[in-house]
Structure 1
Amino acid sequence: MGPQMGYDRAITVFSPDGRLFQVEYAREAVKRGTTAIGIKSSEGVVLLVDKRITSNLLIPESIEKIFKIDDHIAIATSGLVADSRVLVDRARLECQINKLTYDEPIRVEGLAKRISDHKQQYTQYGGVRPYGAALLIAGVDNNGARLFETDPSGALVEYLATAIGEGRDTVLKLLEEEIDPEKRISFEDSIFLGLKCLYNIAKDKLNAETIEIGYILIKDAIVRKMDPKDVREYVEKVKYLYKDEINKEDKE
């Protein structure tokens, strides 16, 4: 029996070295999920997801990874699909409650904290399990463009750019190399950078039909999804621009 046996069967039991194994297992479920990327730009925030279709029989449009939560907030998910759907419904409910209570749209940070608190509650009660899903919560409010990441433990962090799901470490390394914290990139460049990261992971398997792009611009604070035709054009440009560069890095 491994040293964790006896400590990984209940969510409320800490191991001697201070670990909650069920939370760590939930994080592993997220790591096996599809890659989702969020990037703040000078004009707003963009979310990109590779839906990773595994069968030719699947209809790509039937799989949704970027969800409109309110007019000004969107969420990208990775991990267990059913868990993500429940959290998305919870987020939409929180937006409506805030609107009815205070007669104003919820702030992005406020929603992110409420969802994180909800996820954290599922790490401290017996008879439940943590959500096996991570979220990128993006939106625009009075404080400008915001981008938050929340994991199965309920931890909440704000980023200029981040990623969840498969290949997260690889994407973060590339984002850190490409983004100057003192200077915001343009909206156009943020899309190219996000697709470059996805291409870095998928290589020649990157398929425009499985890429989903959502964005919120500061000028109107409205969630939009990019037309598949425009997504296809961006993907083809990225394949042409970065193929030689990435292949050279792989050889080195």
Structure 2
Amino acid sequence: MAFVPPQAGYDRAITVFSPDGRLFQVNYAREAVKRGGATAVGVKWKEGGVVLAVEKRITSKLIEPSSYEKIFLIDDHIAAAPSGIIADARVLVDRARLEAQIYRLTYGEPVPLTVLVKKICDLKQAHTQYGGGVRPFGAALLMAGVNEKPELFETDPSGAYFEWKAVAIGSGRNTAMAIFEEHYKDDIGKDDAIKLAILALAKTLEEPSVDAIEVAYITMEDKRWKKLPREELEKYLNEVLQEVKEEEVEEREEDYSELDQNY
């Protein structure tokens, strides 16, 4: 009879705590988001709006780019950007769309984002608690929209959720969050918020390009999500890349001046 390591029992059952109080399958779901998921970022701005930007990993030139959707419209005023296992994310998006329509038919008004986020996270949490052949969703979602104010939430595979001013999920999270910590300001405007989101993505990409990035935004005035046209995205990206080059030149000049002073 083969030896089964003590951890194996906790590894195989999603509803069983290990002796140190962990659910291994939930941790593995988080790793699926970190390692396998393209980066997605969100930024709120002062005047009243939110921008979502995602990395599009198109693995073949034969794929139709228009079929590779990475920002999903939940309702007119709510959108989601996933990272992790996209098949899992699609199930969550479909559930969110259903819940949004149920709320609209029941109450005759758009669903508040906080209500929708809680419902989706309740579903995620249920998959960490009950057996019967289910597993945690291997996807995190950035859910953003406007009701009385702009809101931006991160939903974790465990079912936890947090509201952010600027946040990133996926493989480039650490790099993007460091950029947000350095550059985000409470009085940031729309253009700067879009550029900051693109900068955070560009820093996580080996070769930033218009085809590798998708951006959408919503304002308090329109309360309707709009995809950033290719021409505008190219303009913002070129501005960001130019600023990055100028910063790199300044940093090199500072390094050279320090060396000269040392000598």
Asked whether the two chains share a fold, i.e. TM above 0.5, the reply is: yes
Contact 1:209 1:232 in 2 (8 A): no
Secondary structure of 1:189's counterpart equals helix
**Any unmatched runs of 5+ in structure 2?**
256-263
**Residue type at the aligned position of 2:30:** R
Q: Which residue of 1 aligns with 2:258?
A: none
Contact 1:200 1:246 in 2 (8 A): no
* 1:42-86: CA deviation from partner (whole Å, max 9, x where unpaired): 230000001122222222221111011111111111111111111
Moved more, 76-85 or 3-12: 3-12
Secondary structure of 2:20's counterpart equals coil
Moved more, 88-97 or 216-225: 216-225
Partner of residue 135 from structure 1, selected from 135, 141, 149: 141
For residues 153-232 of structure 1, what are the structure 2 equivalents within 5 Å?
A: 153-180=158-185, 183-203=186-206, 205-232=207-234
Shift of 1:224: 1.0
Q: 1:173 to 1:3 in 2, by over 3 A?
A: farther
Secondary structure of 1:47's counterpart equals strand
Secondary structure of 1:105's counterpart equals coil
* 1:189-245: CA deviation from partner (whole Å, max 9, x where unpaired): 011111111111114x11211211111101121111111222122112211221342
Q: 1:21 to 1:100 in 2, by over 3 A?
A: same
Partner of residue 94 from structure 1, selected from 87, 95, 99: 99
Aligned counterparts of 1:2 and 1:79: Cα–Cα separation in 2:
29
Q: Which residue of 2 aligns with 1:22?
A: 25
Q: Which entry has the higher C-alpha Rg, 1 or 2?
A: 2
**Residue type at the aligned position of 1:85:** R
Secondary structure of 2:123's counterpart equals helix
Partner of residue 41 from structure 2, selected from 37, 41, 49: 37
Aligned counterparts of 1:249 and 1:168: Cα–Cα separation in 2:
24
Count the aligned residue pairs.
248
- TM-score relative to the length of structure 1: 0.93
Q: 1:229 to 1:15 in 2, by over 3 A?
A: same
Q: Which residue of 2 aligns with 1:8?
A: 11
Partner of residue 54 from structure 1, selected from 48, 51, 59: 59
Q: 1:18 to 1:38 in 2, by over 3 A?
A: same
Secondary structure of 1:122's counterpart equals helix
Shift of 1:248: 7.2
Q: 1:198 to 1:98 in 2, by over 3 A?
A: same
**Residue type at the aligned position of 1:227:** P
Deviation beyond 6 Å, 4+ runs, structure 1:
247-250
Q: 1:249 to 1:26 in 2, by over 3 A?
A: farther
- TM-score relative to the length of structure 2: 0.89
Q: 1:246 to 1:105 in 2, by over 3 A?
A: farther
Backbone CA RMSD of aligned residues: 1.9
Secondary structure of 1:135's counterpart equals strand
Aligned counterparts of 1:118 and 1:247: Cα–Cα separation in 2:
49
Aligned counterparts of 1:247 and 1:35: Cα–Cα separation in 2:
27
